[in-house]
Homo-oligomer: A and B are copies of this chain.
Amino acid sequence: MKKIAVMTTGGDAPGMNPAIRSVVRYGISQKLEVMGVFRGWWGLINEELKPLNRRSVSGIIGEGGTILKTARCPEFRAQEGQQRAYETIKKNNIDGLVVIGGNGSFAAAHEFYKKFNIPCIGVAASIDNDVNGIDYTIGTDTAINTALDAIDKIRDTATSMERIFVVEVMGRESGFIALTVALAGGCEDVIIPEKAMEMNVICHDIVHGNLVGKMSWIIVIAEGAGKADDIARQITEMTGLETRTVVLGHVQRGGRPTAASRDLALNLGKAAVDCLIAGKADMALGLTAGKIVEVDFKTAIRKKELKIDNFYKLIKILT
């Protein structure tokens, strides 16, 4: 292992930059050359990459986004694209690849490894936190705190104007962010993909609450479980009460990474380099039970099951 490459793929997540910093600086400390690939797989296909030195990653530890940029790359799904990516790797004498991203990135890396035998190590970075076998990905903690900050602000208006709010947060397939911020934000209800929505229970609670003087509600919905506007319309129809919506959207993706997102990124970046040096491949790294774990790509990209029962109950009891 003399030369490695690092890239960020899929949706950007806060903490990708410190992960890059760690791969580069730790890699160099281990006598490796490190190349940075721009825009993920697209950069491999189009040979957009360049050597990185310690200076290249200075001042980025606290910055959101990714200096290597990221992109979706449909060309990579075709044989031709993969072949060209492989040629870039051979031409540049790259012995191993660190792929910072989420499930989609790992699926691609797994296929690439199988076809061309280029060692790939994944670094789990995704605000959806949906990598199987991994409790926390880089960026999750930041996204949660951003969403919580927004919900705290919405609470001011909900309370002052005695209104019902439906707030849509990230989470296409996972209710993790929704549950976490609903709990931390003292929200009255939460709608997630993992659980059948019970609009009549929600509306019953609202009507009942109104009778005993509870006038403001915040209901969090994960984007994968429905549209905030639809839920709000149903609530208004069933309760007769005006209901507002907020869709937090891309705001949750950016921002300066929290301490937890940075420290996880820095540790995973180092660990990825250690894995490549140790001859490992075809696996993703993340945080599970407070420790760095290695999860083979095949496992990582399976559907992550979220134990939601206790979580959900606690939210209902505490509000």
Contacts and interface: CB of A to CB of B under 8 A. Distances in A.
Contacts of A262: 148, 183-184
A153 B252 CA distance: 8
Given A69-B161, A255-B152, A266 B184 contact: yes
A287 to B, nearest CB: 8
A29 interface: yes
A250 B146 contact: no
Contact of A64 (B156, B245, B289): B156
B253 A153 contact: yes
Contacts of A238: none
A135 B8 CA distance: 31
Given A160-B69, A180-B263, A185 B61 contact: yes
Contacts of A185: 61-62
B254 A246 contact: no
Contact of A259 (B66, B155, B181): B181
A45 to B, nearest CB: 16
From DSSP, what is the main secondary structure of chain A's interface residues?
A: helix
Interface string A235-254: 00000000011111111111
A159 interface: yes
Interface residues of A, number: 74
A152 B62 contact: yes
Interface in A62-119: 62-66, 69-71
Contacts of A145: 258-259
B254 A154 contact: yes
A41 interface: no
A299 to B, nearest CB: 18
Contacts of A247: 246-247, 249
Contact of A314 (B65, B66, B162, B266): B266
B135 A290 contact: yes
Contact of A153 (B18, B64, B144, B148): B64
Most buried by B among A144, A160, A183, A314: A160
Interface stretch (A20-28, A195-203, A219-227, A276-284): A20-28
Nearest to A214: B58
Contact of A250 (B22, B246, B256): B246
Q: What 3 pairs between A and B have smallest CB-CB spacing?
A: A153-B254, A156-B254, A64-B156
Given A145-B258, A154-B251, A157-B254, 5 more contacts: A61-B185, A155-B254, A180-B259, A183-B263, A246-B247
